[in-house]
């Protein structure tokens, strides 16, 4: 069984929209949001997947079987799936059964992960693209909690992996450059994205984040879904 986020309607948070971030921004995709996370980022835009002090677990989480999840995803007739969270790899044993089945149907499957959990061989075989959102000091998580050298070594060697950094302040750029150098990431696989839950904040930060990308050879991503709809669930 998969623990997935539950919408106010009582249905699982599986929906069709556009990919708003990263290398495939603008791609029509089906999204499946899983619950549970092993980090607690201060700027998290989905705290209802893990913050049980401020959100009720029983109201926010539901369990569905792999066949149920597959059926709901196939109903959208879109063969591009984005698995997000929360932290999906907390459920990778169950998740790989789903991704393997969809892979046989020629799905392109992206997964959003914080990079703290070593992916299984089965996950590596069934996921088309890894979007590793590596956390920095601005997340409020301690270094030993937000970075796992064993996991990052695996991700670094993949040809289908991007490393995304959420940027809040100009001071974040120096820390990101240091991480990229220390972990020997290819700058072409690094994406900087301004943090923000509304278009005004995104636009305010975009220019200097984009300038940093130009200076250091990184890629830039906005948050297209936020610019279009603000922080609305199911969009």
- Contact between 226 and 188 under an 8 Å Cβ cutoff? The reply is no
Compute the distance between CA of residue 6 and CA of residue 177 in angstroms, rounded to an integer. Answer: 37
CA distances from 65 to 109, 126, 135, 144, 231 (A): 19, 18, 31, 34, 28
Q: Check: pTM over 0.75? Answer yes or no.
A: yes
Q: Which of 125, 96, 110, 124 is nearest to 164 (CA)?
A: 110
Q: Could you give the domains of the chain? A: 2-164 (3.20.20.70)
Q: How far is CA 76 from the centre of its chain?
A: 21
The pLDDT score that the predictor gives to residue 97 is 95
CA–CA separation, 123 vs 101, rounded Å?
12
> pLDDT above 90 covers what percent of the chain?
97
What would the pLDDT profile of 68-93 be if each residue is shown by its tens digit? 999 999 999 999 999 999 999 999 99
**What angle, 0 to 180 degrees and rounded to 10, lies between the N-to-C axes of helices 199-216 and 171-182?**
50
């Amino acid at each position: 069984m998969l623990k997935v986020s539950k919408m106010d309607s009582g249905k699982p948070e599986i929906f069709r929209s556009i990919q708003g971030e990263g290398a495939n921004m603008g791609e029509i995709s089906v999204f499946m949001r899983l619950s549970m996370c092993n980090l607690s980022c201060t700027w998290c835009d989905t705290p209802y997947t893990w913050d049980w002090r401020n959100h009720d677990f029983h109201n926010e989480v539901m369990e569905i079987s792999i066949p149920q999840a597959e059926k709901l995803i196939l109903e959208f007739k879109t063969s591009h799936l984005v698995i997000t969270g929360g932290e999906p790899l907390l459920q990778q044993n169950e998740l790989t059964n789903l991704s393997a089945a969809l892979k046989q149907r020629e799905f392109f499957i992206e997964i959003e992960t914080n990079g703290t959990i070593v992916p299984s061989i089965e996950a590596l075989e069934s996921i088309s693209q890894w979007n590793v959102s590596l956390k920095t000091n601005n997340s409020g998580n301690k270094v030993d909690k937000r970075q796992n050298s064993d996991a990052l070594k695996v991700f670094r060697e993949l040809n289908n992996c991007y490393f995304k950094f959420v940027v809040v302040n100009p001071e974040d750029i120096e820390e990101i450059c240091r991480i990229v150098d220390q972990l020997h990431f290819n700058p072409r696989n690094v994406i900087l994205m301004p943090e923000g839950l509304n278009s005004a904040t995104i636009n305010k930060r975009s220019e200097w984040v984009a300038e940093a990308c130009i200076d250091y050879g990184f890629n830039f991503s906005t948050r297209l879904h936020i610019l279009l709809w603000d922080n609305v669930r199911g969009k």
